[in-house]
Amino acid sequence: MTSKSTPNPRHLLVPMDDSEPARAALEHALTIFPDDEITVVHAVDELEAQYGGQSGPDGEPDLFADVDAIAAEHETSVETVVIDGTAADAILEYVDREGVDQLIMGSEGRSGVSRMLLGSVAEQVTRRSPVPVTIVR
């Protein structure tokens, strides 16, 4: 008689900014992968924050409060981490360093001049990622 063993949970990474696609990616991860370990990261690039890019350190508490509220709706919790650097590079470095098994991210986050100058983070990450990437709209 063989017994079924529960597989080890995978480590999923959800990059987060203050956008609806990022929130949808977190919802997707919590719904589809409820038994896996989920880490939510927010990349802060000091130069970009200074010149009108994504929110800097002042926006993180509210952002993570939203993350915690979404996780609570799913009766779970997630780890939240702030990483330094440009979003795509910082995300990919975290993937390598922390043994992430899969990325789940929103289709777009940045808008306006920041996106035109820096390109789509989702596109950059997808092209360079050593692990599977799920893009959520």
Alpha carbon distance 14, 25 (integer Å)? 7
Kindly list the domain boundaries of the chain, sorted by start residue: 11-136
Q: Alpha helix locations (H) across 51-102?
A: 60-73, 87-98
Angle 41-23-64 (CA atoms, 0-180°, nearest 5)?
A: 45
Question: What's the CATH fold of domain 11-136?
Answer: Rossmann fold (3.40.50)
Token pair belonging to 116: 């035109």
Task: Round to whole Å and give the CA distance between 69 and 47.
Answer: 30
Whole-model pTM: value is 0.83
pLDDT in tens, 9-68: 999 999 999 889 999 999 999 999 999 999 999 999 876 556 554 444 455 778 999 999
Residues 72, 70, 43: CA angle, nearest 5 degrees: 120
